Chain A
Amino acid sequence: MAAPEPPGADLVAALVGFGQALRREGLAVGSGQIVTYAQALADLDVSDAEDLYWGGRACLVSDRADVAAYDRAFQRWLGGGPGGQLKVSGAVPRRQPTLTLEPPAATTPGPPGRPERPRGSLASHAEVLRHRHFAECSPDELEALRLLMARLHLQPPLRRSRRLAPSTRGRHLDLRRSLRASLRTHGELLRPARRTRRLRPRRVVLVLDVSGSMRGCSRALLQFAHTAVSRRPSRSGVAPAPATEVFCFGTRLTRITPELARRRPDQALARAAEAVVDWEGGTRIGDSLGELVRVWGRRGLVRGAVVVICSDGLERGDPAVLATEAARLARLAHRIVWVNPLKADPRYQPLARGMAAALPFVDVFLSGHDLSSLESLADLLPTLR
């Protein structure tokens, strides 16, 4: 495709430079989009910075999350140009999440008096690794665990989708196929074809606690999350599963699905670690769940999903908030599974105020301190009808 009026070579070079600047900011801008932009500029006033800005935004950005990066690249691109320091009237400042981040220094690193980890209470020698508490694993053991985890197949429960698929049985008559078949028998309708509603797996939403008190388990759980995101086993006769979503929280919620959606686990984990801003800070489970419902739930990400919360339930915020938000989440989600590493201790009782507040809204309460407990989670998932 050629622009109606081919733009000058200078302009093309400048646009290509801009494209490269955008890519440096992490935007996946294809040459096709640059061509579109060039065509767009033929219709716009190139000397008008606003036209340049908005035209580029329409052509080169395809997600709201990329706007900030676009703004930075645009500033730099035009900053030294004729426009000088450009101020675009309508440019949207990047919206800060409603939850304010507390400086890590302000929160105590871990709740005082947290229960002793259940050392040695689960001694199984046959499969030491499988039953080894995450917190006691060496880096090598964690690596070995990762390989074992990669074999875990998360099979979310199925739901009936609204999409109809041909089937030998089913309530819906497939007139199109029936008629085609009847042509073979001279218009005589011998056997009506049918359609039935197809099955589709529910979405799994993993919510990982990465606060200080979960320090020992965070890495292993993150590995588990990576497996869940990158491996989606397909089942015959069933629609492909929607992508597993992963969120991390300490004092605030971070979505790390895009970071984890990389094949190489070390890369994925490193990127996820960068994205999370409050590693090993305090814990505000209620506020984080609230943000999950407000920002992501309303959009439909949580609706009808199986939400797996991995947290020790040691809430630093108000337990009443946690109860309200858990109730809200329970109304939106299909099932809530709470995976609590502390539950590994047979003496553990969910008496911590946060855990006690959330428990009425939790459908399944599991331990999540070692591989075998995650395996039981994987076994449990398909049964959550």
Chain B
Amino acid sequence: MPRPSSPAAMTAALAEHAYLADRGLSTAMFLALSLGRPLLLEGEAGVGKTEVAKALAAALGVELIRLQCYEGIDAGQALYEWDYARQLLHIRALSERAAADEAAVDELFGPRFLVERPLLRALRAGGGAVLLIDEIDRADDEFEAFLLEVLSDFQVTVPELGTIAAASPPAVVLTSNRTRDLHDALKRRCLYHWIDYPGLEREVEIVAARAPDVPAALARQVAAAVARLRGLDLAKRPGVAETIDWARAVALLGADGLDPEVAVDTLGSVVKDHDDVEVVRARLGEVVGGRT
């Protein structure tokens, strides 16, 4: 599928895959594609940072390659690794047959023994993939520096194989939960967008798009209740993902509307902190019905 030609086309393409993006997000996504720059997405948990990358891959009709970051992740886990166990066995076999010639040694560091990790796969796929680097803030500074190098040139050098460069840069989406400040150099390399909680109308549309079997009236009630929940002083405010979960949970129970009883039974799908549950229970009538 061709790349969208304007922000509006991007919005439409994402909407086809049940992702409703606002003007700012689609402009940022559109520019990331047309300028060949990575896009750094930040926002509260559960606002759809990861989802938008999935929707983009689906909209472009390409593979989504996901690199989940964690503390201590290094090039071996992100880029490539040799299959050492098989290499050792292979060396063993060669020496027993006394067959170790030039070609056999070349083969030892050839594609057969190379384990491709997400970054290398994305470089190879080039424009035919969306690379999602999820929760970059969980990785440490060393990995961030390494990543900067890859994202600047979209090429890496594997000593045994030579330089591997992407024919065209893949679309890259980075997400961060802001557990720490990212390095300025990386931020400058990227386009940036902060995804905010959607407004009420938008959230109702999102629930309708993501959970089509939820009745419209219920979706509206749930979205309104979640909006009021976000106004409370909670330790963990519910994201859009929670709204969708809650709407689904209530619909599954066969309730035609959200009332305090149903809300208590399904509260676990939207409020996920023990202290918060108590706060919400105490003001459930207000949250559900909008009464004070």
Which positions in A face B, CB cutoff 8 Å? 28, 30, 32-33, 36, 39-40, 43-45, 50-51, 54-55, 57-59, 61-64, 67, 89-90, 92, 98, 161-164, 175-176, 178-179, 182, 186-187, 189, 197, 239-240, 242-243, 293-294, 298-301, 303, 324, 328
Contacts and interface: CB of A to CB of B under 8 A. Distances in A.
10 contacts: A36-B191, A43-B34, A50-B23, A55-B27, A55-B31, A57-B192, A178-B84, A294-B233, A300-B179, A303-B179
Interface in B176-203: 177-181, 184, 187-188, 190-194, 196
A299 B177 contact: yes
Interface in B6-25: 6-7, 22-24
A176 B82 contact: yes
Given A43-B34, A187-B92, 6 more contacts: A36-B191, A40-B35, A161-B71, A161-B72, A242-B180, A303-B179
A162 B71 contact: yes
Nearest to A62: B187
Contact of B27 (A51, A63, A163, A299): A51
B283 interface: no
Contacts of B187: 62-63
Nearest to B29: A58
Contacts of A163: 71-72, 74, 140, 142
A43 B30 contact: yes
A202 B184 CA distance: 22
A55 B82 CA distance: 42
Contact of B31 (A43, A45, A92): A43
Contacts of A55: 27, 31
A225 to B, nearest CB: 18
B84 A67 contact: no
B260 to A, nearest CB: 25
Contacts of B192: 57-58, 61-63
Contacts of B163: none
A45 B30 CA distance: 13
B274 to A, nearest CB: 10
A54 B179 contact: no
Contact of B72 (A33, A164, A298): A164
Contacts of A59: 31, 191
Contacts of A58: 24, 27-28, 31-32, 39, 191-193
Contacts of A90: 22-24
A35 to B, nearest CB: 10
Interface of B: 6-7, 22-24, 27-28, 30-32, 34-35, 37, 39-40, 42, 70-72, 74, 76, 81-82, 84-85, 87-88, 91-92, 94-95, 100, 137, 140-142, 177-181, 184, 187-188, 190-194, 196, 233, 235-236, 275
B74 A164 contact: yes
B288 to A, nearest CB: 22
A239 to B, nearest CB: 8
A51 to B, nearest CB: 7
A176 B158 CA distance: 13
Nearest to B27: A54
Contacts of B100: 187
Contacts of B196: 92
Given A64-B194, A176-B76, A162 B70 contact: yes
B140 A161 contact: yes
A51 B24 contact: no
Contact of B275 (A189, A303, A328): A328
Given A163-B72, A176-B84, A36 B37 contact: yes
Contact of B188 (A33, A178, A197, A300): A33
Contacts of A293: 235
